[in-house]
């Protein structure tokens, strides 16, 4: 699974929001949701596959945190899209200004 697919689910986006405040154990994450712990585990697995979170273990505890490197690909893609849209919008603005001058 890639990062884009991992971000497509609102539950996974909410998990990432929770992890913005720092690392959490899987049980701590699950407490914030009404869905089952196995369902949360599946969401965490998808976030791991998308490289958006990392996991460490301490005894029997699984601790998750945001993986900043996983967001690099997303940032690169978003930056390229932002640049393309800014260029298009600039061209549209110039066109509209010229059209308005003719009126």
Q: Which domains does the chain have, with CATH numbers?
A: 3-102 (1.10.10.10)
Give me the mean pLDDT over the 13-38 stretch. 96
* Residue 24 CA neighbour count, 13 Å, CB half: 19
pLDDT given at position 93: 92
pLDDT at 103 over 80: no
Instruction: Give this prediction's pTM.
Output: 0.76
Q: Provide φ and ψ at 64, rounded to 5°.
A: -110, 145
Give the residue with greater pLDDT, 71 vs 9.
Answer: 9
User: What is the C-alpha to C-alpha distance for residues 40 and 66, in angstroms, rounded to an integer?
Assistant: 16
Confidence at 9, pLDDT banded by 50, 70, 90:
very high
């Amino acid at each position: 699974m890639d990062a884009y697919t991992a971000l497509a689910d609102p539950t996974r986006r909410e998990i990432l929001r929770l992890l913005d405040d720092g690392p959490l154990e899987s049980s701590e994450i699950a407490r914030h949701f009404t869905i089952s712990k196995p369902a949360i585990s599946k969401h965490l697995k998808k976030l791991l596959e998308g490289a958006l979170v990392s996991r460490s273990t301490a005894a029997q505890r699984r601790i998750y945190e945001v993986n900043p490197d996983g967001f690099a690909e997303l940032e690169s893609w978003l930056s390229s899209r932002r640049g393309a849209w800014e260029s298009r919008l600039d061209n549209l603005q110039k066109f509209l200004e010229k059209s308005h001058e003719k009126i």
